[in-house]
Amino acid sequence: MTRGYGDQSNRTGIGSIFGGDYTLFGLLGAVLVVYLLYPFVTFFAGAQGHVSVGGFMRSEVVSAARYSLTTAPVSTALATVFGVPLAYFLSRAEFRGKLLVDSLVILPLILPPVVGGTMLLTGFGNFTPVGQFANSLGVTLTDSYIGIVFAQTFVASPFVVITSRAGFDSIEEYEKASRSLGKGPVETFARVSLPLSSGHILAGIALTFARSIGEFGATMMTAYNPHTMPTQIWVTFISRGVFATLPIVAMLVALGLIVVVGIRYSGKNIGVNG
């Protein structure tokens, strides 16, 4: 049993639950924890009979892994290169329409990814002006490597923007200190803002990467082919059943765990104390 402040052990019943003791919260939270854990247990328990090295070496699995692992870093890099400056700008600048830009950055998180994919199709599809122009240059924007990157960047980039911005928001006074000590904005950004926000930025990059590699809804619309890992899970599930998806599911879960541990580690470096 968890304890609140001070010794509450002599309290009983309702008094114990509401009298500074966290038991009620723990019990309610436990329901969610069990719910989150349960599918992992059932899936991996049920998939035990399907474990084989050959499963990981199947051509469609290798191909999907190759596409996911080559597109997600590119999407993450694009989101970082453009997203971190945007985060800094939104953190520091005041301008007309800021609320609109703020909302736009969050929108892909709120929208169902498939809706994002639909929007992207109307902007970059083969029959749109942009798509036709790209085609004339021999570049295909949908059902291609680029189409996957478009979908991933659209859906995942808000993570790096929002997380980085939180970092920049928390260090404004340090920047002021640096400026008052005679350092210009560029030097201040390089010597103070970036190092102090690095934990937040790295966490944002990790989340963006994880979201990119797991992207399915928007990718289905913009680039069903070539199959990424999530798309391949869907295809395999339809054709061979749920446990046949084990190799790709296991890889994605492992990647997810690595990202979670990475964020936890970088989180330790985020704290900026007075």
Partner 1 sequence: MIRLEGVTKTYAGFGLDVDLRFENEITAVIGPSGSGKSTLLGILSGHDTPDSGTVTLNGRQLDGVVPEERNIGMIFQRPTLFPHLSVRANIEYGAEIDDSEIHELCELLEIADLLETDRSPETLSGGEKRRVSVARAIVTAPDALLLDEPTTGLDEPIRRRLKYELRRVLTELDIPCIYVTHDQNEASVVADSVVVMRDGAVLQQGDYGEILESPRNEFVADFVGIENLIRGEIRQTGSGRTVVDIGGALVEPESPGVEGAGAPNTEVCVGIAPESMTVTANPRDDEERRTRGQDPGATGARTNRIECVVEQVIPERGAKTVFLECGLPKRLKAVSNADSTIEAGNEVVVEFDASDVVIV
| Dihedrals phi, psi of 10, to nearest 5 degrees | -85, -5
93 touching partner 1, by CB under 8 A: no
- Amino acid identity, residue 254? A
CB of 25 to partner 1, least distance (A): 31
Contact with partner 1 (CB under 8 A) among 173, 260, 261, 265 = 173
Task: Give the pair of three-digit tokens for residue 163.
Answer: 């997380």
| Dihedrals phi, psi of 57, to nearest 5 degrees | -100, 0
Contact with partner 1 (CB under 8 A) among 138, 184, 238, 268 = 184
| DSSP letters for 49-67 | GG--HHHHH-HHHHHHHHH
Span from 113-121, 173-181, 222-230, 248-256 in contact with partner 1 (CB under 8 A): 173-181
Segment 185-244, which members bind partner 1 (CB under 8 A)? 192, 195-196
CA dist., res. 139 & res. 124, Å (int): 11
273 touching partner 1, by CB under 8 A: yes
CB of 84 to partner 1, least distance (A): 18
CA dist., res. 184 & res. 186, Å (int): 6
95 touching partner 1, by CB under 8 A: no
Residue in the structure block whose two tokens are 């991996």: 44
| DSSP letters for 89-156 | HHHH---TTHHHHHHHHHHHHHS-HHHHHHHHHHHHSTTSHHHHHHHHTT---SSSHHHHHHHHHHHH
Span from 174-182, 217-225, 234-242, 255-263 in contact with partner 1 (CB under 8 A): 174-182
Span from 98-106, 168-176, 205-213, 259-267 in contact with partner 1 (CB under 8 A): 168-176
Contact with partner 1 (CB under 8 A) among 30, 33, 34, 177 = 177
Span from 36-44, 61-69, 116-124, 171-179 in contact with partner 1 (CB under 8 A): 171-179
178 touching partner 1, by CB under 8 A: yes
249 touching partner 1, by CB under 8 A: no
Contact with partner 1 (CB under 8 A) among 11, 50, 92, 179 = 179
182 touching partner 1, by CB under 8 A: yes
Contact between 194 and 117 (Cβ < 8 Å): no
For the chain, give the number of residues. 274
Nearest to 247 by CA among 41, 38, 25, 62: 62
98 touching partner 1, by CB under 8 A: no
Contact between 9 and 16 (Cβ < 8 Å): no
Span from 5-13, 176-184, 201-209, 235-243 in contact with partner 1 (CB under 8 A): 176-184
> Which residues of the shown chain bind partner 1 in the complex (CB under 8 A)?
173-174, 176-184, 192, 195-196, 272-274
